[in-house]
Amino acid sequence: MQRTITYDFRAVSRPCRIHSGENALDRLGEELKRAGVSRALVLTGRSIAGGTDLPDRLREAAGGRIAAVFDRMGKDTPLDDVEAAVALAREEGADGLIALGGGSVIQGARVSAILLAEKGTPVELATQYPDDGPAISPRLLADKLPIVNVPTIGTTAQDRGGSPVRAPSLGRRLEYFDPKTRPAALFWDRAALATAPEGMLKATVAMTWWRSVLDMGYSRATVLADLNRREVLAISDRIRRSLAAGDAGDAVRADLCVATWLQNRAADDGARGVNTWVSRVSYAFAVALFHTHGHLAQGAATAAVGPTVMRMMGPRDPKAVEGMADALGMPFTGAEATAAALADRMAGDFASLGHATDYTALAIPRDSAEAMLENALSNFNADPNREFRREKDRIAAVLEACW
């Protein structure tokens, strides 16, 4: 496939110091000092707080700069947990935040920083989705507390500015965006990364691998974005193959940090999103699945819907399908046949990580379909131009085929 690579671009380098490797956390104190933090609040989850020595390591490395630990941030960042963390931060006079854990904890720290700094209710400060227009992100202009992230697993959440939280009482998610909540420092500490269970690792790798393949569906890119996406695909495939062979060691975990960081970096290097029907519908279905059935991770949800969506929606974007196939060394034999071949390939890749590739294998009841369809049709991140409702029958048929 012939791609157009341009040297006309604008790249943005954002300040963030990364410490990686054995005993990387030993540098925590100096980073807190550099950021002017003397009373940090640590946010983490119960499993990390109760099952590892990481909170104690943070206290020791911080040199007296930790005021308190909030140890009950739950899966998918429940709003109640965020508000409890905010209350503790105010009570302790926190002047900085440390997120210790996976994506849910890291997102919780960002939203906590917003709620601590801005005036307004959580609903008012979240992105607004009017029925008759595009989404509106409130202007969150107040300075935010410095954030340091100590991920226990590689995740694209590690250095983003956006964060969703789960608000069960409202029956939906709230979404926030503020680039001032990006971290001042990241710690890819070897011992911290070793704490992530293998099942969590496989779910995250499934999501990273899927996205790396979809991101190869471009026909035009800046030279930096082109190099970035090729490297992310190579790293993601290496991780997937290692995990499939039973290797969940230090190198795999470090590679996942690098791959997810580079995926975020692509946007700063001028990469445009590859917003195909496959990427949009699979994202909407995965979100609907793991929010309707909260025990599932997003990677497992993506594995359950991705191959079917690729098979049925891929032909709508023939150039993207050609680009993905080319990146995987597969011939392009027409949009429909190639989309089907990609679907088979991805189903095999997900299965190699132990993931189910349909709803039946996950024991998802069919009476969930109506709720999941409505959730998917209302996913404004996937469908900002409101195209899904005009395609409701087609999208419903694709959802039904996921069983």
- What residues does 164 pair with on adjacent strands? 175
Residue 171 has pLDDT above 80, yes or no: no
Residue pLDDT, tens place only, 321-369:
999 999 999 999 999 999 999 999 999 999 999 999 999 999 999 999 9
pLDDT for position 168: 82
Which residue's structure tokens are 């024991």?
363
User: Which domains are assigned to the chain?
Assistant: 17-193 (3.40.50.1970), 198-214+221-401 (1.20.1090.10)
The answer to whether the CB of 174 falls within 8 A of the CB of 107 is no
Mean pLDDT of 302-320: 97
Three-class SS state of 189:
strand
pLDDT for position 259: 97
Residue pLDDT, tens place only, 198-219:
999 999 999 999 999 999 999 9
The answer to whether the CB of 180 falls within 8 A of the CB of 137 is no
User: Could you give the C-alpha distances from 223 to 153, 258, 294, in angstroms and in order?
Assistant: 29, 19, 40
Residue pLDDT, tens place only, 92-139:
999 999 999 999 999 999 999 999 999 999 999 999 877 666 778 899
Tell the burial category of 398 from Cβ atoms under 10 Å away from its Cβ (0-12, 13-18, 19+): buried
Task: Work out the pLDDT band at 49, boundaries 50, 70, 90.
Answer: very high
The answer to whether the CB of 95 falls within 8 A of the CB of 88 is no
Residue 282 has pLDDT above 90, yes or no: yes
Residue 298 has pLDDT above 90, yes or no: no
The answer to whether the CB of 94 falls within 8 A of the CB of 145 is yes
User: Could you give the C-alpha distances from 325 to 151, 174, 213, 222, in angstroms and in order?
Assistant: 33, 36, 9, 20
Which of 4-18, 128-142, 205-219, 259-273 is predicted with the least confidence, judged by mean pLDDT? Answer: 128-142
Mean pLDDT of 13-39: 96
Whole-angstrom distance, CA of residue 133 vs CA of residue 403: 34
Q: Mean pLDDT in the chain?
A: 94
pLDDT for position 133: 67
Residue 176 has pLDDT above 80, yes or no: yes
Task: Work out the pLDDT band at 85, boundaries 50, 70, 90.
Answer: very high
Mean pLDDT of 213-237: 96
Which residue's structure tokens are 């035009």?
220
Among 59, 58, 150, smallest CA distance to 100 is for 150
Q: Give how far the C-alpha of residue 199 lies from the chain's centroid of Cα atoms, to the nearest Å.
A: 16
Residue 284 has pLDDT above 70, yes or no: yes
